[in-house]
Amino acid sequence: MLILVLMLVIGLFAAIWGFLMCFLPTQWDRLTEAISFASHWTQPSTRRLNPATQFVNQIAGFAIFGVGSWFTYAAVSEIYLVLIRHKAIIPAPPISGTTARQPMPMAIVALAAFVIVAGVSMALFPAQAITILQRLWPSGRSMTQSAAPKVKLFVRLCGIFFAFLAMMSLLH
């Protein structure tokens, strides 16, 4: 039951986040700036979002809204079945024996290789990664000089984490 309640909360947050991102982009921008404490480590910039980037944000927001709504619906329907109809949640029996491993699809291997290369590049060259990100996705804010070392450390750690996850997915 705890998992269903957590699934409900995650679905509600995702649906609200996606709705704001898609239909109320200025409120979404203000909310993300407040949540990320953007005023502490960034300063306003003259660069504005590209219209193509705004369109991609709206499409992504619509997708997040749809998945969050579906997640919420699935959680509510299962909670309903458990509470109203007194349906018991029965765990699946353990699978005995071993199964043959299927070869990993080539697209997943290619994606994992790309993530490994991108993660290692982020870890080795964080300043260039930040510059590339700001050119591809300008946010109307730029990093302050006092926050640069902390942001570079964060980018390095994220790069290492992404490369590690991609390597683990290939080893699995």
Tell whether 92 and 110 lie within a shared domain.
Answer: no
Residues of the chain with pLDDT under 50: none
Cα torsion through 18, 20, 22, 25, rounded to 10: -140
Where a domain ends, among 96, 125, 147? 96
- Give yes or no: residues 70 and 136 share one domain: no
Q: Which of 165, 49, 158, 59 is nearest to 113 (CA)?
A: 165
The pLDDT assigned to 171 comes to 84
State the residue range of the domain holding 156: 103-172
Predicted TM-score (pTM) above 0.85 = no
Check: CB of residue 29 under 8 Å from CB of residue 72: no
Same domain for 117 and 143, yes or no, is yes
* pLDDT given for residue 105 in this prediction: 84
User: How far apart are alpha carbons 155 and 133 in whole angstroms?
Assistant: 11
Quick one: pLDDT at residue 13?
Answer: 94
- Residue 107 has a CB neighbour count (10 Å cut-off) of 8
Which of 96, 121, 150 represents a domain boundary (last residue)?
96
Q: What is the pLDDT of residue 15?
A: 95
What's the confidence (pLDDT) of residue 133?
77
Tell whether 114 and 81 lie within a shared domain.
Answer: no
Pick from 76, 96, 116: which residue ends a domain? Answer: 96
What pLDDT score was predicted for residue 28? Answer: 83
At 92 the pLDDT is 66
Residue type at 147? A
The total number of structural domains in the chain stands at: 2
State whether 5 and 70 are in the same domain.
Answer: yes
